[in-house]
Chain A
């Protein structure tokens, strides 16, 4: 199985379905045969993929895998500071993009060569079948700090669960895309479609949720995988949502709570509802379709999936066949027995276990990881802030909302400073890290840094 690229796998696995529609975008749709005929002349290079148009993004991935030494797809919604941070973690030669120069300053400053994705059809035809590398895929994560790291995968580890199903001679599944395709969960949806001959209906997070939901209904989407926060938004579209003829609902990226599972069951009585636990580092861990929050304790003996599970010191450990190879900085993921410490805290209640938070105190806000200590340190640089406590408050609509309790320096004007802090927050933080609720208190208690303490607990 060595040296087989994404392109080769598609040809081999769905040879009878190549004339089927693979990708349905707002402006253009492509057949599988359109995708596998893409050549690449970027052999041996280390390439950043920075493409806003989803259809072009998919074309680029198929063209590059197996030809380039490494590819690092990054979301074009990434803010500048985070982009600089990600690119500093490895060496890159070039960027393939559909954006114009004003959005590419960071790449220019690193002396990367630019390739416009529109020119890809002009790439070296002679090298069409010259795909001999196991390209490294760098996938951004935000596992242990609020700043994402690059995790090293190869196509076969990223696509492990999609490759497990048998070769397909027919498909009736239509998948709707909600995840960002540069994230681990997004790759699962993409590869599952490409390698099993399913059509993928794409949309982007630039679009309003009502548009995305109507677009899925219009294209008779049968399968959607999304975070609990995204599912709540989908449900909030009301009548539009139930027009989607869903057969399969998948939830991942955050813990799925019982009220949400019940609501999905009520609105989509014919759909199978599955919630999963996966991470960029460990790959796909566990999944269950019984409609109950948490996971069965019997999974500790047999998870019926690709992962072995262990709970040690109230923490979840996984051993999987689809895990990454390591971080881009060479730090190991696994212990000597092959176990990955997920850093997720577990509570056992009856016959189930529940993921209740991160050991590091990291808060999951709508699938994005927020490091409260990072937010706290930055708020402390405000001239009139004395003490800060950051925590997540549970909320029925988004799951979690970030709260800052703030004690001002003596003699600071409460009303005036509250306004100034709100401006400060918008200026200093990207959207996910912004505390949305700011309480000015006379006195607050602050626990030791970074540990899950009184002030970092998730409050209900």
Chain B
């Protein structure tokens, strides 16, 4: 079983605070971390390997310092890491990112399963996982809560939906994006962390993966961000209520009625 886990380095949120004026979250001097959903994807890949044998390759696209997230994956059981890093990838949207990752997966070769987090918490698009599947023309399962019944030819996956779930039987090779419910990730050991620091992480450029220049980076991206703006301000006139339970309840119900909810 050869599994590729795609991971992304994203800004951390632990240092973020609420701006008292705008009532929105500000992130200053933020750290970079592994996208939270990808941690579950790494754990799932390692669990499958531990059960059935094989290897787990962690794959990331980003600036040179994104090797940190690959080392985190190595510290919890991934066997190797590959970083796609090249100025030519800069400005890639989800189309171009999916294309680059799919090309890298083809170059890795012999891959049975690609695991991703359901979305990255910075862009929140959830488009790269299915994008990789479409580029490779492999079947996909998104919002996966469980992967079971793995055989040589395929597996069963439980997909979460708004109104319940379903079970799919999928043939390898395939792409699966996971939600948090799928497992409880292990904490890396100190020894794991130290060992991961020593691993040489190959850096692949656009040329290494045979990417066509017109399909990566800003030029290869159909979408363009033309403007960014702060979100609308929240109302500043917060109302604070103290009193008996009945008094509090009366105020809340009055507000609900104003919103025509009650």
> Do these two chains interact?
no
| Chain B residues engaging chain A, CB cutoff 8 angstroms | none
